[in-house]
Structure 1
Amino acid sequence: MTEPADQERGQEFGFEPEAVRAALGQIVESASFVASRQLSAFLTYVVEKTLAGEADRIKAYSIATEALGRPETFDPASDPIVRVEAGRLRKALDAYYRTGGANAALRIAMPRGSYVPHFEPMAAEAEGQAASEAAPAEPVTPAREAALPATAVSVFAARTLWRLRIGGALAIVAFLMALGVFGLRHAAVLADAGQEAGTAAVAVASVAAMPHAAPAPATRPLAPRIFVAPFAIGDEPAVGISGRQFAVMLATAISRFDEVTVVTRMDGDADYLLSGRLSAGPSGISAAALLTDAASGRVIWSSQATVPRNPVRPSVTIAQLKDTIATTIAQPYGVVLSDRLARTDLADDGFPCVIRSFNYWRSFAPKTHGEVTACLEQLTKRYPSYAPPYAQLTFLYLTEAELGLDPDLRRATLDRAVKASAMAVQLAPTSARAMQALQYTYYADGQMQRAIEAGNRAMVLNPLDPDIRASQGQMLILAGRYQLGMRLIEESASSNAAYPSWYDLYLALAAFQGGKTETLRKLMGRVDLPDHPLAAFLRVLAAADPEARRAAIAGMRDRFPGMATDPAGVLARLVPNPALVDRLLAAGREAGLES
């Protein structure tokens, strides 16, 4: 039901707000917007602000801090991110209305010189297009491709995408080589990856252009879709934010996670409904949140949290509540993915494979590795333009190379990992998970500073993902910056009571670097990774008495023979830090290991 205020604004805009929101929903579900959460968040924010009668509050600062996740210290004068994203958004909207949105009833536009969107009827544009078609023939351009016969569209798309394919491959190679990645041989591998991504794009375009063809097959599995309803507010002046504003902030935060999708319509689109209430009290601001199944109303998760007020920066309190809710439900080991994996009443479109790939890191079990790798490889064939399987395959291939013993197979596996990470980044350049895959590829090549830089970028793309923060902590610990690394992993662990055991493994390595033997023993007592050689080695160092040490050494040599024949080589693969490897070997000799 449309509220009176919405009706008044509908007269002002020329469209009912719900019609605008429906148009917005169609845009953010289009391919280019699905691939860029930044653009979706930007557009959703400015549209909702305008519909709420708050267009005067749409400024570069508010867009950056409320939609794009920048901190409150953001300075529009020194950081051009909003101007850059606005330019991308205008181009993406133009492209959308030339293709999938060509028959839309209304157009959402953002004129240059302003961030406030306009809502315009498409009829005027249609008249303009008819007039242009009556004019003398002109060379074919993308803006006119809709007027061509289907076969001509197919040829035009193929030629255009061929140029993009070659250009995209060379751009990736040039970019990564400029950063010093892998040398010429790996550049060739990356070029192949670029060609494959282009081939996938051409195939999709060709199918879409076929006359009278059956509906094109899905280009990706259906990730869990979440609708965030405006939160109820007990006392808005005391809380300091409206329920709609909090919902926009929360939706933006959730949309940063690659494995879930935020939708703008409840009916027919959402799998999950997130609702709640904010209230103010003497102890601070409280948030009660409820996640339910959109179809059945089944309660999946509920939470009640109170955060003390921050008298200096009141918005920090709201941001903390928002971050906690978003992280709990959307992280890889969170509420939504756990519920989705447990569902047996849904058709398996391949998405459960993505979820299971995260669960592999709980054990590093070879059997699970093989099963998950196989299903992810099938997923890349089924959805060649879908980035998450390529990112997950990068991690799995690198683990195979890291833990494998055959040098020849290791090199081939590393090449596959490089190719997979390049595909992930090319298909989803703003994906935090794809950037995490690139980070691990640098790590496997021994380029720790590059790995840390990629990790920083991943944390900018999604500062709330505990797995990404823990990965950065791992890299810092391996690089010798163990105190900062420990802090990141401990923060990640605090966000998930069921965090994977490798968090404790690298915290134990940090404790070794800090000379904290008792902490090392305590942490290794929690580590349950029988298939990880670093865990076996640290268990030897953590042994409290000679008998326990002898048992740990025997178990390590039995499970990992390479630790007996070439401990330096095995550790060098796991710890690309020669100084730290030397320290570990020295401690091993002191514990009774022969090098």
Structure 2
Amino acid sequence: MSAQPPHRAEIEAELALLLAWPDFERNRSASQFLKFVVEETLEGRGDRLKAFTIATRALERKDDFDSQNNSAVRVQALRLRQLLKEWYEGPGAQNPVRIILKTGTYKPVFERFFPPVPVADPPAQAAATEAAPPAESAPRPYWRRFAGAVGLGLATFVVAFTGLMTEPASPPGARSGNAPPIPSLRIERASSDKFSGDLAQALEVEFSAFDNVIVRKPESEAPAPATNAYTLSLRPTDKDYVAELLRLSDRTIVWAGQFAKPADDALARQARQMAQTLGDAYGVIDLDALRLLNDFDGMPRGFNCTLNAFTFLKTQSLDRLRVARECLEIAVNANARDDDARAMLAIVLVHYYYFAPPEGDPQADLARAEKLAKEAFDLAPLRARSYFARFVTAFAARRYDEAFAAARTALALNGNSTLFARGIGSAYVLRSEVEAGMALLSPLIDRTDDSSAALGATALGHELRGEPQEAARLLARPGASERALALILQLSLCADAACARDRAADLRRNFPGVAGDIGAALDRLGAADPIKARLLAGAAGSQPDQR
């Protein structure tokens, strides 16, 4: 007689245990995927589960999601199957109910599992049976754990609230006629080589964490977009492999590298490093797209608008800030459901409040930024960038506990983003949480160029640590004269009038809104009182002439 299928309550209890497992909590897209397909199957809709349904309802993709060419759902299914395998080989090995997602389908199956009974001599087996108290019969351990099902609602809420969105919504103005689309990437591997297949799969998983790259299925026959389309090819040899990034529009190799094949336990780490190099907001793909942007006529739209915002966040150029604000305003007004444009405009408005000369009502701009951040979050509560926008606006409003709570979630959702690490690390330093800030900032400074937007905050962190030589090394970089916080720190450290005069001139030229009142600017930037006092004491007597 075959075993009866698990009851719904048993399946829900097993789902609660899975979602509460730390490995699932760290992979929130897979958690959201699992929760959705299990609930749909329990409601009798499992046969309707398709890639498009999962993408738009579980992973919050837009309605124009292309399931034929976009591999996001397939990547998450691969990740989910691996996590389920690890669960049932580890913590859930003895659980009497198993949730299984078989290859080739998105509909899970639910099976009972009976742990093998050890074979013993009849007398010993009988003695063991007699010794076992009735209260510890076979089903009891599981039903004791079933009390954990009480936490299903909480676990479900946590996963829904902090779920990972591995691919962005349509970029601002993406459907405009001359709007370049978000970059797409195909990863090609040698079909018969196991190593390149494993590496390609790991790369797909890592790229899926970024907001600004769409990973397309390698086997797709659909034509690549005319612009912003790339292929990453992996060519293995005996002991190493060559990786090449090819721009498809003109067959230009824009990046290449030769790497030693890593050990199995280091493959994921190498995949993450390569994905960061190529796919981060300031990575190779974005920089190449910026080169193409130089030939763009008119107001930037689509992904070019997002790139303008990224460029400001990197260079702090006020001209770039104004362009980014203008094109994002157009995108927000054109599409009431464009969460990406709203999140980016909220971030840009806060930086306008920080650095630009006073124009209109700065407090009104700040209030509007908070409204836009809330709208972005309401439209896409599973996106890391939505949380980052909430962090930026709450920090500017001086609600620091709320800001850092959102910051921690943004980093948990996308720990690969240097944009997040720079902004959040700088905020920690300014609030006197120096070690937390430097843990985020220090790895960035030596792997990015001299115009790093975090240069001033990192130099300030070294100064607060009592490491003046390290601070001086960073402040000597050419880009320091183009960073507001770096200039304020330089001004505070000046030992003579000539130095103070030059730094004050740089500040007036590059950041007139800061130079007019450094103390007020430090207040806007969120500097803690002891840090503000320290910087102003050094700058005393060198405050720019306001006559």
Q: Does 1:584 align with 2:543?
A: no
Q: 1:384 aligns with which of 336, 346, 362?
A: 336
- Provide the rounded CA distance (Å) in 1 between the counterparts of 2:423 and 2:349: 16
User: For 1:223, what is the secondary structure of its paired residue?
Assistant: coil
Instruction: Name 2:310's counterpart in structure 1.
Output: 358
Counterpart check, 1:230 vs 2:189: yes
Change (3 A) 1:318 1:397: same
Contact 1:60 1:76 in 2 (8 A): no
Q: How does 1:29-68 map to 2 (within 5 A)?
A: 33=59, 35=61, 43-45=73-75, 58-60=82-84, 62=86
Contact 2:455/2:486, CA 8 A, preserved across alignment: no
Shift of 1:287: 4.3
Using the TM superposition, name which of 300-309 and 411-420 deviates more: 300-309
State the distance in 2 between where 1:501 and 1:546 align. 28
1:305 and 1:352 mapped to 2: Cα distance? Answer: 32
Number of the residue aligned with 2:255: 301
What amino acid does structure 1 have at the position aligned with 2:460? L
Q: 2-side partners of 1:433 and 1:494: how far apart?
A: 25
1:399 is displaced (CA, Å) by 1.2
Who is 2:167 aligned against? none
Give the Cα separation in 2 of the matches to 1:63 and 1:378: 47
* 1:30–1:558 distance in 2 versus 1, CA, 3 Å: closer
TM-score (norm: length of structure 1): 0.60
Conserved? CA contact 1:230–1:243, under 8 Å: yes
Equivalent of 1:259 in 209, 212, 215: 212
CA distance in structure 1 between the partners assigned to 2:323 and 2:76 by the alignment = 44
Query: What is the match of residue 449 of structure 1?
Result: 401
User: What is the rounded CA distance, in whole Å, between the counterparts of 1:594 and 1:343 in structure 2?
Assistant: 40
- 1:368 correspondence with 2:320: yes
CA distance in 1, matches of 2:359, 2:323: 23
CA–CA separation in structure 2 for the residues paired with 1:477 and 1:507? 8
* SS of equivalent residue, structure 2 residue 455: helix
SS of 1:502 mapped into structure 2: coil
Question: Could you say if the C-alpha distance between residues 33 and 521 of structure 1 is closer, same or farther in structure 2, counting changes exceeding 3 Å?
Answer: same
Cα distance, 1:277 vs structure 2: 3.6
Residue type of the partner of 2:206?
Answer: A
Aligned to 1:322: 271
Counterparts of 1:75-90 in structure 2 under 5 Å?
none
Greater alpha carbon shift after TM alignment, 475-484 vs 246-255: 475-484
Q: Is the 8 A contact 2:492 2:536 kept in 1?
A: no
What's the counterpart of residue 211 of structure 1?
none
Aligned to 1:337: 286
Secondary structure class of the residue paired with 1:113 = strand
Deviation of the 1:544 alpha carbon = 4.8
1:273 maps to amino acid: T
Change (3 A) 1:24 1:260: farther
**What is the CA-CA distance between 1:513 and the residue it aligns to?**
1.2
CA distance in 1, matches of 2:274, 2:486: 33
Post-superposition Cα deviations, 1:348-371, rounded to whole Å, max 9, x if no partner, equal 752211112111124323322211
Once residues 490 and 301 of structure 2 are traced to their aligned partners in structure 1, the CA distance between those partners, rounded to angstroms, is: 41
Checking the alignment, whether the CA contact within 8 Å between 1:232 and 1:278 is kept in structure 2 is no
Letter matched to residue 396 of structure 1 = V
CA displacement at 1:507 relative to structure 2: 0.9
CA distance in 2: counterparts of 1:401 and 1:259, whole angstroms = 26
Residue number among 381, 388, 399 corresponding to 1:436 in the alignment: 388
Equivalent in 104, 107, 112 of residue 110 of structure 1: 107
Structure 1 Cα separation of the partners of residues 50 and 446 of structure 2: 36
Asked whether the equivalents of residues 481 and 506 of structure 2 are also in contact (C-alpha less than 8 Å), the reply is no
Q: Deviations over 1:198-246 (max 9, x none)?
A: xx9xxxxxxxxxxxxxxx999x973111112235787x5xxxxx43332
Distance in 2, matches of 1:273 and 1:63, equals: 34
Contact map agreement 1:35 1:428 (CA 8 A) in 2: no
Query: For residues 132-147 of structure 1, what are the structure 2 equivalents within 5 Å?
Result: none
The residue that corresponds to 1:498 in the other structure is: 449
Query: How far apart, in 2, do the equivalents of 1:356 and 1:42 lie?
Result: 26
Deviations 1:464-507 (Å, cap 9, x if unpaired)? Answer: 12222222211221121223422322222344x33643221111
Q: 1:476 to 1:31 in 2, by over 3 A?
A: same
Structure 1's unaligned 5+ residue stretches are 1-22, 50-54, 65-73, 91-106, 115-170, 177-199, 201-215, 237-241
Q: TM-score, normalised by structure 2?
A: 0.65
Is the alpha carbon distance of 1:533 and 1:341 closer, same or farther for their aligned partners in structure 2, counting shifts above 3 Å? closer
3-state SS of paired residue (1:109): coil
The one of 225, 242, 245 equivalent to 1:288 is 242
* Alpha-carbon distance between aligned partners in 2 of 1:63 and 1:385, rounded to the nearest angstrom: 38
For the residue of structure 1 that corresponds to 2:479, the secondary structure is: coil
Give the 3-state SS of the residue equivalent to 1:302 in structure 2: strand
> Residue 417 in 1 paired to residue 369 in 2?
yes
SS in 2 for 1:415: helix
Q: Tell me by how many angstroms 1:592 deviates.
A: 5.5
Q: What secondary structure sits across from 1:262 in the alignment?
A: strand
How far apart in 1 are the matches of 2:296 and 2:496?
Answer: 53
Whole-Å separation in 2 of the counterparts to 1:355 and 1:26: 28
Q: Contact 1:333–1:498 at 8 Å: present in 2 too?
A: no
Structure 2 stretches lacking a partner, 5+ long: 1-48, 112-156, 163-169
Determine the structure 1 residue equivalent to 2:499.
548
Aligned length: 418
Q: CA deviation at 1:260?
A: 1.2
Q: Secondary structure at the match of 2:454?
A: helix
1:538 is matched with which residue? 489
1:272 matched to 2:230? The reply is yes
- Residue aligned with 1:228, SS: strand
Equivalent positions of 1:520-535 (< 5 A) are: 520-526=471-477, 528=479, 533-535=484-486
Q: Which has the higher contact order (CA 8 A, sep 6+)?
A: 2
- Residues 1:46 and 1:362: Cα distance change in structure 2 (over 3 Å): closer
8 Å contact from structure 1 (residues 24, 44) kept in 2: no
Q: Does the Cα contact within 8 Å between 1:227 and 1:274 map onto a contact in 2?
A: yes
Percent identity reads: 22
Is the CA contact 2:429–2:438 (under 8 Å) kept in the aligned structure 1?
Answer: yes
RMSD: 4.3
How far, CA to CA, are the matches of 2:71 and 2:361 in structure 1?
A: 43
Is 1:508 matched with 2:467? no
1:10-25 superposed matches below 5 A:
none
Structure 1 position 432, deviation (Å)? 1.8
- Cα distance between partner residues in 1 of 2:190 and 2:216: 16
Q: Do the aligned partners of residues 594 and 291 (structure 1) sit closer, same or farther apart at CA in structure 2, a change above 3 Å counting?
A: closer
Query: Conserved in 1, the CA contact under 8 Å of 2:230 and 2:246?
Result: yes
